[in-house]
Structure 1
Amino acid sequence: MILRLDDVTLGYDRHPAVHHLSGTFAPGRLTAVIGPNGAGKSTLLKGIKGLVPLLGGHIALSAAERARIAYLPQQAELEPGFPISVLDVVLLGHWRRTGAFGGIAPEARAAAAAALAAVGLPGFERRAIGSPSLGQRQRVLFARLMLEDGPVILLDEPFAAIDARTCDDLMTVVQHWGDEGRTVIAVLHDLDLVRRAFPFTLMLAREAVAWGPTETVLVPDNLERLRHSSAAWDESPVLCPRGRSDAV
C-alpha cells in the first residue's frame, strides 16, 4: 500500500491543525514524525486513519485500504479492572476479520500466543489485563497490532513513559515490520532514537518544515526553523523534555 498525501489539510470544527501537507510514505519505510506539542502530529495520524475530517486536499486511500491500517493511539487505555484476559486483548487484533460475533479459531489463539512470545510475554495469556505493568501492557498492545496484520502501522508516542528495555524490545518489533515491507509512521520525541532507528523523518509544525531522509532533516538549520515556526503560533511551545537538549 502506497500512502500518498496531496495538499492535505486536517482539523477540528473547521479549524485547521495540519496545513497543505504533500508527500508519500512508501512501503517498507520507517518514518518518524517529530515536532513540538500542538504541531498536528496526532492529528495527522488520525487523519490518515479517517478519524479526523479532511478539510482540503486528498489522501490516496480507499475505504477498504484505510480499514486495514493498524493504529495505536497516544496513551491507549486498557481499563485495569475490566474482566478480560491478556489473550482476549490480543485477539481483538482479529476484529476486522471476525467481527463482533465471529468465532475465534484455534489458529488465531495460537497466533496470539506467538505474538505475546514475540513481545516478551510468553505465558501471559491467562493473566487479567490489570495485572501487567505499564510497559507490559504496551507489549500487549503491540502483540494486538501484530495480529491486525496491517500493511500500514500508525504509532502515536508508542514509547512514552516506558522503560528502556521495553522500548528496545518493541523497536525490534517495529524494525521487523519494516523488514516485512510494512509502512510504519511513528510520532516520537527522542531524536536519538529517530536518528538510530528511523531512516525517514517528517518534521511538522502544522505544516511540513522538512520531510525526507533523517540525516538531511535533522540538521541544525531545520531544527532552528522548527523552533521559530512553533514559537510563532504557540505561546508556550514545549520543545525539549526535561534533561534532553536535543529532543523535539
Structure 2
Amino acid sequence: MSAIRFHDVTLGYERHPVVHHLRGEAPAGSLLAVVGPNGAGKSTLLKGIAGALKPLGGSIAFDKPGVRVAYLPQAADIDRAFPIHVYDLVAMGLWRRSGVLGGVGRRDRDAIETAIAAVGLTGFEDRSIGSLSGGQMQRALFARLLLQDAGVILLDEPLTAIDAKTSADLLDLVRRWHAEERTVIAVLHDFDVVRSVFPQTLLVAREAVAWGRTDEVMTPENLLKARRMVEAPDPFAAACNRAA
C-alpha cells in the first residue's frame, strides 16, 4: 500500500486557490475523514489526490509508483440518465484488467456477481441505474469500487441522502478496506460517523485547520475557527503567491 504526501500543495481553478499550502502525510492504511464547512475545499482536495486536478503549486506524491486510486465523486456529479444497467455499471470496475472494450470472461463474471452480492444488490443486475433509489445507486457504485481493487480509495460524501441501513452497510465496507490496509479518505458531514468510525481527521477551511487524531481535531474551538475562516470567501481572489 502507499502513503500520500502533501508537499505545500495549493489547489484551485483558473489560478484561483481553493486549498492553500497543505502539508502533511496520510500514512499507508489510513482511515481519514475530511471535514469542513461548505466551500472549504474538501472536494477539490479529493480531485487533486485523484489526479483530476493539477496543483497550482506544490505537489501530491505517493511513496510507491503505480498505486491504484479509486475515486467516488459526489452523487450530484453522476449522470443517472445514462442508459446503463447495474451489472454493466459494476463491471466498469474491471476496466484496468479487461480494457474499455474488453470482453468479460467467467472469472470476471464471478467477480462482478460477488461484488453485487457484497453490497446487497443481487437481483438488481438488469435494473437501469435511473430506476434506483439513492441508496441503491450508492451500493452499485461501492460494488464498482470493490472491483477496482485499489490501494487508495477516495469517497466524496458517500453517505449523503441515503437511508440508515445503506449507510451502515457501506461503512462496513469502509471498515473492511481499512482492515485490508487500504488507504481510505472520505469527505463527510456526519460528525457522529466521523467520531465513531474514522480514527484520523483533516479539518479544512481552504487551508488545514487541524489534522490528526479525530478527538483532538473535532473540538468546538477548531470547528468554530473553520466556520469563521470560510464565512466571507472571495471568489475573485488572486492566485496565491505566499512563500512556502
TM-score, normalised to structure 1, is 0.89
Q: Secondary structure at the match of 1:71?
A: strand
Deviations 1:163-211 (A, max 9, x none): 1111011000011000000111000011011001111100000100000
Q: Secondary structure at the match of 1:102?
A: coil
> How far apart are the structure 1 equivalents of 2:187 and 2:56?
22
Which residue type is aligned with residue 96 of structure 2? R
Counterpart for residue 178 of structure 1: 178
Contact persistence 2:11–2:57 (CA under 8 A):
yes
Counterpart for residue 86 of structure 2: 86
Counterpart for residue 139 of structure 1: 139
Q: Secondary structure at the match of 2:161?
A: coil
> How far apart are the structure 2 equivalents of 1:218 and 1:234?
26
Counterpart for residue 198 of structure 2: 198
Counterpart for residue 50 of structure 1: 51
**Stretch of structure 1 that moved more, 70-79 or 19-28:** 70-79
Q: Secondary structure at the match of 2:208?
A: strand
Deviation at 1:128, TM superposition (A): 2.7
Deviations 1:110-137 (A, max 9, x none): 1111111111112222333233222101
**Stretch of structure 1 that moved more, 117-126 or 179-188:** 117-126
Counterpart for residue 99 of structure 1: 99
> How far apart are the structure 2 equivalents of 1:31 and 1:144?
21
Contact persistence 1:12–1:53 (CA under 8 A):
no
Gaps of 5+ in 2: 236-244
Deviations 1:52-97 (A, max 9, x none): 121111211389636x200000114243461x22111100001122
Which residue type is aligned with residue 154 of structure 1? L
Q: Superposition pairs for residues 12-51 of structure 1, below 5 Å? A: 12-51=13-52
Counterpart for residue 242 of structure 2: none
**Stretch of structure 1 that moved more, 126-135 or 7-16:** 126-135
- Equivalent pairs: percent with the same residue? 57
Deviation at 1:29, TM superposition (A): 1.6
Which structure has more relative contact order (CA 8 Å, sep 6+)? It is 2
> How far apart are the structure 1 equivalents of 2:205 and 2:18?
9
> How far apart are the structure 2 equivalents of 1:117 and 1:48?
30
Q: Secondary structure at the match of 1:22?
A: strand
Structure 1 residues 29 and 63, CA gap change in structure 2 (3 angstroms): closer
Counterpart for residue 221 of structure 1: 221
Which residue type is aligned with residue 185 of structure 1? I
Deviations 1:120-158 (A, max 9, x none): 112222333233222101100000000011100000001
Q: Secondary structure at the match of 2:193?
A: helix
Counterpart for residue 238 of structure 1: none
> How far apart are the structure 1 equivalents of 2:81 and 2:232?
41
> How far apart are the structure 1 equivalents of 2:174 and 2:38?
24
Contact persistence 2:4–2:63 (CA under 8 A):
no
Q: Secondary structure at the match of 1:155?
A: strand
Contact persistence 1:119–1:170 (CA under 8 A):
yes
